[in-house]
């Protein structure tokens, strides 16, 4: 046991010298680990006679406790130091000047779809989605547009190549197929909107081959055309952020609704400036109507039990009217100067409580 003082001195020196937690752990293993110096001494106890073992055992235990305590306090000190260093490293200087504003902008189409979604969500509508690549059934047939119906020609459809069974997929010409998918998959009551991309083989001043629509659909037992008009009136005043927007329904025809109406909103054009609100002019913003019984039937919904309305609006048109964007084609030119001018700051998410537009 003459090694005791030496072992104590070595172990305590190693603990004191440990500059970090790894070194401290190494010192602990060297003294108290399975093969450590103190553990080795403990192993010799067995070979002693009872009296010697008693004194040596007590001494060794004291040594063990002493070294363990030294390790514990060194550990606490090292951890405190590590925390201080980390706090210093991660300190934020709140007096630094703000970073330059990000140059990225939210495209007006995305912004307007967010705004529309916020408004309809408040009215209890859920967002539904469908694929851009559709089939004939969802895009036409189920919407009461049978083969050879003239409405098919009017849609200037982009078709894919023929498949072995003779059918052809297509790029959806409107968001109305999302109505069909929703009705096939959900039991009424239904209250959805479906914003998304649509495609028509058409390109001039006022048409782009890809554009966006938002579809609305409400199905239950009692919803009628008055609800449709009230819903759209509420929507346009909130969307355009003006107190009063006159809404006019003009009788029209869509295969998937009966009766059908085109929706106009009031505007004035004083001094060459277009203003949404009461005035002499009218602007068409979309189509609407009561869902045709044939459409309900195609989706397995009994028209004697259920009824409801649908509407469809062009997103670009709504964006142009709200934000005074004069040319449709600029939406898709990816001109950074245009985006910087008409785009929105990414953190200004439109909400009804926080404001649609800031």
Query: Which residues here bind ligand DAH, judged by CB under 6 A?
Result: 174, 176, 215, 254, 257, 287-289, 310-312
133 vs 345 by CB, closer to ligand DAH: 133
238 vs 288 by CB, closer to ligand DAH: 288
Q: Are 288 and 277 in contact (CB under 8 A)?
A: no
Gyration radius from the chain CA atoms: 37
144 vs 257 by CB, closer to ligand DAH: 257
Q: Least separation, in Å, of the C-beta of 164 and ligand DAH? A: 30
196 vs 289 by CB, closer to ligand DAH: 289
74 vs 113 by CB, closer to ligand DAH: 113
Q: Least separation, in Å, of the C-beta of 352 and ligand DAH? A: 24
Q: Least separation, in Å, of the C-beta of 325 and ligand DAH? A: 21
Nearest to 75 by CA among 16, 11, 24: 24
Tokens of 86: 């980390």
143 vs 339 by CB, closer to ligand DAH: 143
Under DSSP, is residue 266 helix (H, G, I), strand (E, B) or coil? strand
Count each helix (H run) and each strand (E run) in the chain, helices first: 12, 11
Q: Are 124 and 191 in contact (CB under 8 A)?
A: yes
Residue with tokens 């509508």: 125
Nearest to 265 by CA among 281, 253, 241: 281
H/E stretch holding 215 reads strand 210-220
Distances (CA, A) of 225 to 218, 232, 290, 353: 11, 11, 7, 29
Q: Least separation, in Å, of the C-beta of 151 and ligand DAH? A: 9
103 vs 153 by CB, closer to ligand DAH: 153
Distances (CA, A) of 53 to 57, 64, 89, 286: 5, 16, 52, 99
- Annotate 100-164 with three-state secondary structure: CCCCCCECHHHHHHHHHHHHHHHCCCEECCCCCEECHHHHCHHHCCCCCCHHHHHCCCCEEEECC
Q: Least separation, in Å, of the C-beta of 302 and ligand DAH? A: 20
Q: Least separation, in Å, of the C-beta of 239 and ligand DAH? A: 17
Q: Least separation, in Å, of the C-beta of 253 and ligand DAH? A: 10
């Amino acid at each position: 046991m003459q090694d005791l003082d030496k072992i104590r001195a070595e172990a305590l020196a190693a603990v004191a010298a440990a500059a970090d937690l790894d070194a401290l752990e190494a010192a602990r293993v060297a003294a108290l680990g399975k093969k450590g110096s103190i553990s080795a001494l403990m192993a010799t106890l067995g070979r002693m006679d009872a009296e010697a073992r008693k004194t040596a055992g007590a001494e060794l235990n004291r040594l063990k406790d002493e070294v363990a305590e030294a390790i514990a306090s060194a550990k606490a000190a090292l951890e405190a130091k590590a925390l201080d260093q980390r706090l210093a490293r991660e300190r934020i200087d709140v007096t630094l000047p703000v970073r330059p504003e990000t140059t990225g902008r939210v495209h007006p189409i995305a912004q307007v779809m967010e705004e529309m979604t916020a408004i309809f969500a408040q009215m209890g509508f859920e967002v539904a989605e469908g694929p851009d690549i559709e089939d004939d059934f969802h895009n036409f047939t189920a919407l009461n547009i049978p083969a050879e119906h003239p409405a098919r020609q009017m849609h200037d459809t982009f078709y894919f190549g023929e498949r072995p069974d003779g059918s052809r997929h297509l790029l959806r010409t409107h968001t109305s197929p999302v109505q069909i998918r929703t009705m096939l998959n959900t039991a009424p009551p239904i209250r959805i909107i479906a914003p998304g991309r649509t495609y028509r083989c058409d390109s001039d001043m006022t048409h782009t081959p890809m554009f966006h629509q938002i579809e609305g659909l409400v199905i239950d037992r009692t919803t009628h055309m008055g609800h449709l008009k009230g819903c759209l009136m509420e929507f346009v005043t909130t969307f355009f952020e003006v107190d009063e927007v006159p809404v006019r329904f003009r009788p029209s025809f869509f295969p998937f609704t009966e009766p059908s109406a085109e929706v106009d909103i009031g505007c004035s054009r004083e001094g060459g400036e277009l203003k949404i609100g009461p005035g002499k002019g009218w602007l068409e913003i979309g189509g609407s109507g009561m869902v045709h019984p044939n459409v309900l039937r195609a989706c397995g919904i009994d028209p004697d039990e259920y009824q409801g309305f649908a509407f469809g609006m062009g997103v670009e048109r709504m964006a142009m009217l709200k934000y005074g964007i004069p040319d449709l084609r600029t939406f898709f030119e990816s001109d950074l100067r245009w985006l910087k001018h008409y785009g929105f700051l990414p953190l200004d998410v439109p909400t009804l409580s926080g404001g649609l537009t800031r």
